[in-house]
Structure 1
């Protein structure tokens, strides 16, 4: 073995990922921190910080994003989920990225801060939330539908492999309109992605409340149908440029109201096509069984 991550489980996953890869791109590597130059911060969450970085390879330099974790256990949990996702969703014909799922390169370790990191593809516009905020007046319905098409396809890929995302919201959708690529949106933060069949009990409160299904706020197990509810919330954000319940304090009162069936407000001047609004409400159906696939 030409590398040592310092963690046997990580070593084993990296070796297995390379040995069992289905195409030339979809496998995890160990990336020495000496080959990474960390630049500015892109995002910050409960479990870590995402930075833009330069990855110095043998013949060229690549721009990437690196998520560093405050807790080794959280890193291992997310890295394990990503390893499983790549194994399930990758194929000989199409890479993960071609299926509108964020491409992951591998793992690294920051010796100065004593933190593990996950290295992934960098997307020029950052998140969907950021993209809508900056360019709303230039985003017409054709592009909005293209974004939702890409997200729905990626969600189909995950669900077809009996995986749930578990934290789907506009901040986890990556946008890049600079690539020479017909796609524009990719589902990211796949470290939460896990097997639906293992979701037998409530796994704790994670994610953005305004995008969460009522049953999750009632502490019921996560399901594919909860992802569909969250997709409906993304439809709302894309069609109105308003995050769900943006005008409300995200507190226990709002949590209770969403769990009882409160939905985001649609105004007449939003000019949402009736068929689009109908599908959005189907995704928000209070009964998970009545939501579309």
Structure 2
């Protein structure tokens, strides 16, 4: 998780959050820069780096999901994974995250806003405006692992319309290749 340092909550100014500086930028733009540098349509890092990044994201999700009141990120995607100067990845942008009530081990149902997040990484139940829980972050994480290891956006074979990909996936008709 990107370290939160403070916030400006002045009533006469927009709310601003201050976090640690992440000079490596986001993961999606990092991949784009590497593709340009290598003059290749597809690029992905060595396996050890992918495993390192996946482990970091998994630790962040475990932290969020195993709190007394679990926290759902709801917009997990490569643009919200930032790199520090050592190319370590950290989860950022908790802007649309949601705290869930403690479940005491029982399966709980929540009425949460559907259609929230980025279409390409949105779980089918969110697209369909159904009840959901922290598992929607795991769905997005699976697609992020696909992106990291293949160098391609999920559902790239469907073209450039992420909403179409999400809707087809919600209907159960598409598998990331």
Aligned residue-pair number: 160
Q: What residue is the counterpart of 2:40 in the other structure?
A: none
Q: Find the partner of 1:242 among 140, 144, 152.
A: 152
Q: What residue is the counterpart of 1:256 in the other structure?
A: 167
Name the larger-Rg structure: 1
Cα deviation, residue 184, structure 1: 0.8
Q: Does residue 1:158 correspond to 2:78, yes or no?
A: no
Render the CA deviation track for 1:241-289: whole Å, top value 9, x for unaligned.
Answer: 1111345242654332110122212xxxxxxxxxxxxxxxxxxxxxxxx
Q: Find the partner of 2:110 among 200, 205, 208.
A: 200
Gaps of 5+ in 1: 1-100, 266-293
The 1:216/1:149 distance shift into structure 2, 3 A limit, reads: same
Calculate the TM-score normalised by the size of structure 2.
0.79
User: What do you get for the CA RMSD once the two structures are aligned?
Assistant: 2.5
Counterpart Cα distance in 2 of 1:252 and 1:227: 18
Counterpart Cα distance in 2 of 1:142 and 1:246: 25
**3-state secondary structure, aligned to 1:174:** strand
Query: How is 1:164-243 mapped onto 2 (pairs within 5 angstroms)?
Result: 164-176=72-84, 178-179=85-86, 184-197=88-101, 200-243=110-153
**3-state secondary structure, aligned to 2:152:** coil
Gaps of 5+ in 2: 36-42, 103-108
Counterpart Cα distance in 1 of 2:166 and 2:100: 24
Q: Find the partner of 2:6 among 78, 90, 106.
A: 106
Cα deviation, residue 207, structure 1: 1.5
Q: Find the partner of 2:33 among 120, 127, 134.
A: 134
- Structure 1 outlier segments of 4+, above 4 Å: none
Q: Is the 8 A contact 2:44 2:151 kept in 1?
A: no
Calculate the TM-score normalised by the size of structure 1.
0.49
Relative contact order, CA 8 A, sep 6+: which one is greater?
A: 2
The 1:221/1:135 distance shift into structure 2, 3 A limit, reads: same
The 1:252/1:170 distance shift into structure 2, 3 A limit, reads: closer
Q: What residue is the counterpart of 1:25 in the other structure?
A: none
Q: Is the 8 A contact 2:44 2:148 kept in 1?
A: no
Q: Is the 8 A contact 1:209 1:250 kept in 2?
A: no
